[in-house]
Amino acid sequence: DAKTTQPPSMDCAEGRAANLPCNHSTISGNEYVYWYRQIHSQGPQYIIHGLKNNETNEMASLIITEDRKSSTLILPHATLRDTAVYYCIVRVAGGGGADGLTFGKGTHLIIQP
C-alpha cells in the first residue's frame, strides 16, 4: 500500500472551509484514496473516496491532483462537530478488500469557535 503523509494538526475557524492535505507520492494506478475521521471516543467514520476524479458527497469534497500524488479533503462549512482526527488512506479496491485498512496517525482538525 502507498504511504500517506498528513500534517499532525490543523486549526480552522467555524463556518470556514477546512482543507486537509494528504501526500501519497508512491500511489499506484489502481489505488484509491479514502478519507475517514474519528471523533473523540467514537468509531471511525467513512467520509469519501476517489480514484482520479474529484468527488463530492453530502459530507465533503475530495480533490485529487492530476498526477495523483496528493489530495485535499474539503469540509465546506466547518462546524464544531467536525473536530476530529482525519485519516487519509490509500488502498487497492475490489475483491481483495477483505484484509482491512491501515490507519496512520492522521490530522487532528480543531474547529475554533
Partner 1 sequence: DAGITQSPRHKVTETGTPVTLRCHQTENHRYMYWYRQDPGHGLRLIHYSYGVKDTDKGEVSDGYSVSRSKTEDFLLTLESATSSQTSVYFCAIGTDLYEQYFGPGTRLTVT
Site residues for partner 1 per CB under 8 A: 32, 34, 36, 41-46, 49, 89, 91, 93-95, 97-106
Q: Which is nearer to partner 1, 5 or 112 (CB)?
A: 5
* Non-local CB neighbours of 67 within 8 Å, separated by 6+ positions: none
Minimal distance in Å, beta carbon 113 to partner 1? 26
Grid cell in block for residue 53: 476524479
Minimal distance in Å, beta carbon 96 to partner 1? 9
Alpha carbons within 13 angstroms on the beta-carbon side of residue 38 total 14
Q: Which is nearer to partner 1, 40 or 113 (CB)?
A: 40
Residue 21: count of CB within 10 angstroms of its CB: 15
